[in-house]
Amino acid sequence: MALVTAHWLVVCAVLACVSGFSPYDRGGHNTSHVAIDRLLTLGLPENLDVWLPTDPGTHKVFYFLDGFGGIIPGAAYDDTMDHIASHGIAVVLLWRITLPLNPVDKVPIFVSVMEWAEQHLEATLHRNGIPESVHLDLENIVLGGHSAGNHVLVEYLKSTCGKVQGQVLMSPVDGMDPNGTIPEFCITPGQTLNYNTPSLHLATGLDAVPGPTGFACAPEWLSNNRFFNALDPASQRWSINATEFGHGDFLDPFFQEVIEIINICAFNKDATDDELLAYRKFVAGQTTTFIKALFTEGSDCSEYLPYLEDPSMMTVNTELRFVNPIGGCPVAGCSWWPEPVTTPATN
């Protein structure tokens, strides 16, 4: 738990009381989880796990590309995604165990999923028991990813903004393998990405630390700073590092324990079940805060910005940096420009 002064405890309590917004607590919406099997669904190339509010209304959509470039079952993220949904945000996670190895080849599959969703997702959810009064805003989406899922996310945005209004990068990892042996990267160090959209970057202190087997799930040269430093200098961006946790510590208990057993990543070996639960709520709370702030009308962001910019408001130990020139909410939107064409040098 981060050390919090009595002053900030009072401020936090007052903010929650006045605004009713408390990101680390479950939100006020009833939720449901719907699993959609691609093998039983005509035209759908990926499995979908959808967590969404069941209260009447039109809800913003958070598309999520998970670890290893999208091969981890959605159940691994259930606690986190259901928490986000309880705050009035629909989460659509796509995954498939058998995938192209090259993340670039995943991009057209992701595009196909979004096209299918625009035509069929609401009707499919209603057939699976979601009330007819529940709708999805598929015209204004936020993209998120964990680990190598961010490679796919960035490759997509390098080709188009689409309908994206912001991005959430969770411990992002570049390349096709942890050693960068295969030269397939979405980022060139020293070069800025060719799009500008508000960004939340969530890292962990143990991302780059090798596990007992000597394997680091997010090697320093392929991970966090590589992505944050490549974001457009004019963009609003927040980077928050949960210093005491590891790459997969926010996964649901069974999957987090698998990581411990097979020793593929460094993890917080001293964390209790309650502390890991608090960390899952922290990741969900930061994501929720960013998305809620992104779609807030007007410049007053007083109920959200403290949770993005003040470590004393956070429920785990953190280090943060941010660039927010307007001092207000992230401004939803995305701008894109063609990548420069590099001409090979001639002798």
Q: Is residue 1 part of a domain?
A: no
Continuous segment of H or E residues that includes residue 181:
none
- Residue 341 placed within a domain: no
The verdict on residue 344 lying in a domain is no
For 131, the token pair is 């009330």
Q: What is the pLDDT along the chain (347 residues), one digit of tens a residue?
A: 333 333 333 344 444 444 589 999 999 999 999 999 999 999 999 999 999 999 999 999 999 999 877 888 999 999 999 999 999 999 999 999 876 778 889 999 999 999 999 999 999 999 999 999 999 999 999 999 999 999 999 999 999 999 999 999 999 999 877 676 788 899 999 999 999 999 999 999 999 999 877 888 899 999 999 999 999 999 999 999 999 999 999 999 998 988 787 777 899 999 999 999 999 999 999 999 999 999 997 768 999 999 999 999 999 999 999 999 999 999 999 999 998 755 444 44
**Dist. CA 141–CA 23, nearest whole Å:** 20
Residue 345 covered by a domain: no
Pairing of strands 318-323, 237-242: antiparallel
d(CA 152, CA 61): 18
**CATH at residue 143:** 3.40.50.1820
Domain around 227: 6-336
CA 184/CA 177 separation, integer angstroms:
9
Return the C-alpha torsion angle 214, 220, 221, 222, nearest 10. 80
Distance from C-alpha of 318 to C-alpha of 311, rounded to nearest angstrom: 6
Ramachandran angles phi, psi of 154, nearest 5°: -65, -40
CA angle 22, 2, 231 (to 5 degrees): 75
What residues have CB less than 8 Å from 121, skipping those under 6 apart? 48, 50, 92, 136, 138
Residue 64, in any domain of the structure: yes
pTM of the model: 0.91
Number of structural domains found in the chain: 1
